[in-house]
Amino acid sequence: GESVGLHLPTLSVQEGDNSIINCAYSNSASDYFIWYKQESGKGPQFIIDIRSNMDKRQGQRVTVLLNKTVKHLSLQIAATQPGDSAVYFCAETLSGSARQLTFGSGTQLTVLP
């Protein structure tokens, strides 16, 4: 079936650098996307969302970019900090429907001192 996947299972960045985490989705009907952060032993934490009528959305130190043409989603973290070390999941769904989120496989981000 259709699924959401990630290009890189692990990513290591130096503290202070910018991080980019990528995600590819295959369900062209999806119109709502969310990025979650999961620290070890904890539940996923909402970071930022974006609707398909937008290409870019910014939050605090984070930016999500959506390219509907190639069905690609990315999360950019500015000035990465040690506390950003976690697994990041993208998720997609069809808003207004009862369909649950479909999660990608996750990317482990490690921030090096």
Specify the DSSP class assigned to residue 22.
Answer: E
Helices and strands (H and E) in the chain: how many: 0, 11
Specify the DSSP class assigned to residue 101.
Answer: P
| Residue closer to other proteins, measured from CB, 69 or 100 | 100
**104 lines the binding site for other proteins (CB under 8 A):** yes
46's tokens: 């909402």
Concatenated DSSP letters for 4-16? EE-S-SEEEEETT
Which of residues 41, 70, 83, 113 is near other proteins by CB under 8 A? 41
CB 21 within 8 A of CB 37: no
| Residue closer to other proteins, measured from CB, 70 or 98 | 98
CB 77 within 8 A of CB 85: no
Which of residues 26, 28, 67, 105 is near other proteins by CB under 8 A? 105
| Residue closer to other proteins, measured from CB, 9 or 82 | 9
**93 lines the binding site for other proteins (CB under 8 A):** yes
CB of 16 to other proteins, least distance (A): 27
Which residues contribute to the site for other proteins (CB under 8 A)? 32, 34, 36, 41-46, 49, 89, 91, 93, 95-96, 98, 100-101, 103-106
